[in-house]
Homo-oligomer: A and B are copies of this chain.
């Protein structure tokens, strides 16, 4: 049960910086959208999701009043990195997960569209089982893209796995499958999707779907 938005996670982050609550909230929301709201194991959410960022104010520095204060650049980067680390830990610990999957979506009309595409691909049972089997089944990736409810130009879509291009201009690339299969045999898999439409991008963190997931979750809990 992991698809934060938030889900099944109690996250508490502390800083000694002296940052007012309204600014912390904005920083946290921005960072969460790039990390914990981009991780999914099975698409199922829970009711107990929490991500909390608290500032003790113990540090001494000039007052910070706005989330776009230039002094926050490093803080934002550190917060992004920390939350992405947490998101990756969640996926690595996914129920029955045998592969850690990163889906980079680029060239979307917006960051939101890129995230929607990435999550649609990451949550497709057919993509997840293909990844489990190490099968570079690009047709399943394109079918998941096409059903994501986001505007696409199929002729501009390209896909690569582990750096091996398997789809260009919306169609399969001859002779690419054997090398792609080799990449997918690894424990860590990267899928690159480019839509060729704009500057929107997102990185979705996910896992495969294994028989172990089904066994774990079909055990009685009532």
- Mark A residues whose CB is within 8 Å of B: 1, 5, 42-47, 124-126, 129-130, 132-138, 140, 143-144, 146-147, 177, 181, 209-211, 213-215, 217-222
A214's partner among B43, B210, B220 (CB-CB below 8 A) is B210
Distance of A136 Cα from B135 Cα, bound (Å): 34
Q: How far is the CB of A113 from chain B (nearest CB, A)?
A: 18
Cα–Cα distance between A218 and B124 once the two chains are bound (Å): 13
**Docked-complex contact A135 and B1, CB < 8 angstroms:** no
Complex Cα distance A181/B43, Å?
A: 25
Q: Is the CB of A129 within 8 A of B210?
A: no
A1-B126, A125-B213, A213-B125 known; A147-B218 Cβ under 8 A: no
- A218 near B47 with CB under 8 A, answer no
How far is A51 from B168 in the complex, measured between Cα atoms in Å?
31
CA distance A214 to B45 in the complex (A): 21
Given contacts A1-B126, A42-B126, A47-B143, contact A135 B221 (CB under 8 A): yes
A161 CB, nearest partner CB in chain B, Å: 11
Distance between Cα atoms of A163 and B176 in the complex (Å): 53
Chain B residues near A221 (CB, 8 Å)? 130, 135, 137
A219 near B133 with CB under 8 A, answer yes
Q: Are A215 and B211 in contact (CB-based, < 8 A)? A: yes
Q: How far does the alpha carbon of A148 sit from the alpha carbon of B129 in the complex, in Å?
A: 24
**Are the CB atoms of A42 and B125 closer together than 8 Å?**
yes
Partner of A222, one of B47, B136, B220: B136
| CA distance in complex: A133, B218 (Å) | 4
Contacts A126-B1, A126-B44, A135-B222 given; does A214 touch B217 at CB 8 Å: no
Chain B's closest residue to A166 (CB) is B222
**A116 → chain B, closest Cβ, in Å?**
13
Identify A217's interface contact among B44, B129, B219, B220, CB under 8 A.
B129
Asked if B130 and A44 make an inter-chain contact with CB atoms under 8 angstroms apart, the answer reads: no
CB <8 Å contact, B220 and A129? no
